[in-house]
Amino acid sequence: MSERGPEVRLAGRGVRGDDWEFVRERRVGRLATADAEGTPSVVPVVYAALVLDEEPVIAIAIDEKPKGDPYRLRRVRNIQERPEVALLVDDYDEDWSRLAWVLVRGSAALAEPGDAGHGEAIAGLREKYPQYARMRLESLPAILIRGLSMRFWQGSDGGDAAPERPGRQELAALVRGRRSVRAFDSRPVPRDVIEESIAAAGWAPSPHGRQPWRFVVVESQERRDALADAMAETWRAQLRLDGQDQSTVEARLVKSRDRLHRAPVLIVPCLYLEGLDVYPDGDRQRAEETMAVQSLGAAVQNLLLSLYAAGVDGGWMCAPLFCPEVVQEVLGLGRALNPHALIAVGYAAADPVRRPRMPLHELIVDWQ
């Protein structure tokens, strides 16, 4: 295994220099896109690795097509529906110790003639590929992939590559892309996606590394309906205490039941305090339990981000906090498992309306 070179900073974006050179020097890659339903498509492409305004960018031409309208190309339609793409650039050798690849991830968009970066992209592609010299590319859009992150792998005598450290742009896109979904379609969620997401939750920080949380997965329609009905009775009583009229109460309950009924999977994060340190004084014991609750939130965030990275959405509901005994009884949980939340998991039936976020200057109240 050869060691990777130092990280090159381009306008604050981290891309390793030799990964960039590997991609820049190769002649062909495989572009992976997916449509709005997540159906994948892979096609070989030629490309140019450019630096535009100090940002690393991958440019791909949409050249003259004998079959007609280039906007009908599957890769173009996919990018318009779902901009997240991957480009695999690799070397193959019969000596498998010399195998190598770089996986590039980023967000793709069409640059129309006259748009920023379009002219530079065409010039870079023509410089790399003489075949483009006679093609009329100026009047056609080009694909530009930005927000790049790269993962390198090279064959060796046994060991694998070092664990990948995601780039800042990749992480920012993941964090900002996650959304709270309340309406799901009926497609099942693969079991391995659920398992990987719960495994990601297990890497959250926790007091003394004790991981004071457990997760219950509710997949059967019968059990989901039973849980929704049981929690609805408690919520109905609470809404009446708030002074809401009967029609409003019933309308809200219908929406809540439908959400749990339609979500293919429900995950119930439970606080589990059995393994925590025990102190002789109440103050430290209460602080220990507070740390456990805080770490449960971190675990749920890991879970949600992992789901989103796999193309699945989730919606965080706090209903079990208001009726933990009901949830315990319906799901047959022991008293040591204290339900704190309910995560509805599935594929979004429609893009949710997202609430605005506070600007950075309001989030930072002091900097000393």
Count CA within 13 A, CB hemisphere, residue 345: 31
d(CA 305, CA 171): 10
295 vs 68, more confident: 295
156 and 199 inside one domain? no
Instruction: Please indicate, yes or no, whether residues 83 and 195 belong to a single structural domain of this protein.
Output: no
Say which residue, 169 or 22, is predicted with more confidence: 22
Q: Are residues 328 and 278 in the same domain?
A: yes
Q: Where are the beta strands (DSSP E) in 285-334?
A: 313-317
- Find out whether 154 and 2 touch, Cβ atoms under 8 Å: yes
The answer to whether residue 222 is domain-embedded is: yes
Integer Cα distance of 330 and 79 in angstroms: 44
**257 and 325 in one domain?**
yes
pLDDT digits (tens, 9 = 90+) for 127-153: 999 899 888 888 899 999 999 988 888
Q: Which residues of 252-278 are buried (b: 16+ CB within 10 A; e: fewer)?
A: ebeebbebbebbbbbbbbbbbbeebee
Contact 4, 18 (CB under 8 A): yes
Containing structural domain, residue 121: 7-171
Q: Report DSSP state, residue 105.
A: E
pLDDT tier, 154 (very low <50, low <70, confident <90, very high otherwise): confident
Asked whether residue 354 is assigned to any structural domain, the reply reads no
**Is the same domain home to 47 and 123?**
yes
Judgement on whether residues 201 and 288 belong to the same structural domain of the protein:
yes
Mean pLDDT of 237-247: 78
What count of other Cβ atoms lies within 10 Å of the Cβ of residue 33?
24
Note whether 166 and 196 are same-domain residues: no
On whether residue 353 sits in a domain, the answer given is no
Cα distance between residue 51 and residue 10, in whole Å: 9
Tell me the CATH number at 155. Answer: 2.30.110.10
Query: Are residues 103 and 60 part of one domain?
Result: yes
338-339 and 265-271 strand pairing: antiparallel
For the CA atoms of 196, 108, 34, 15, what is the dihedral angle to 10 degrees? -30
Give the list of residues 6+ apart from residue 170 with CB closer than 8 angstroms, or none: 105, 147, 149
* Number of domains comprising the chain: 2
Q: Which of 42-46, 162-166, 328-332 has the lowest mean pLDDT?
A: 162-166
Cα(79)–Cα(294) distance, integer angstroms = 38
Give residue-wise pLDDT tens across range 68-117: 677 889 999 999 999 999 999 999 888 887 889 999 999 999 999 999 99
Tokens of 2: 């050869």
User: Within this chain, do residues 160 and 253 fall inside the same structural domain, yes or no?
Assistant: no
15 in helix, strand or coil?
Answer: strand
Alpha-carbon distance 204 to 173, whole Å?
A: 20
pLDDT above 50 (res 225): yes
- Position 351 in a domain: no
Please state the φ and ψ torsions of residue 177, each to the nearest 5 degrees.
-80, -30
Among 32-46, 115-129, 155-169, 272-286, whose mean pLDDT is lowest? Answer: 155-169
| 3-class DSSP state of 34 | strand
Longest dimension (CA), the chain: 82
Judged by DSSP in three states, 316 sits in strand
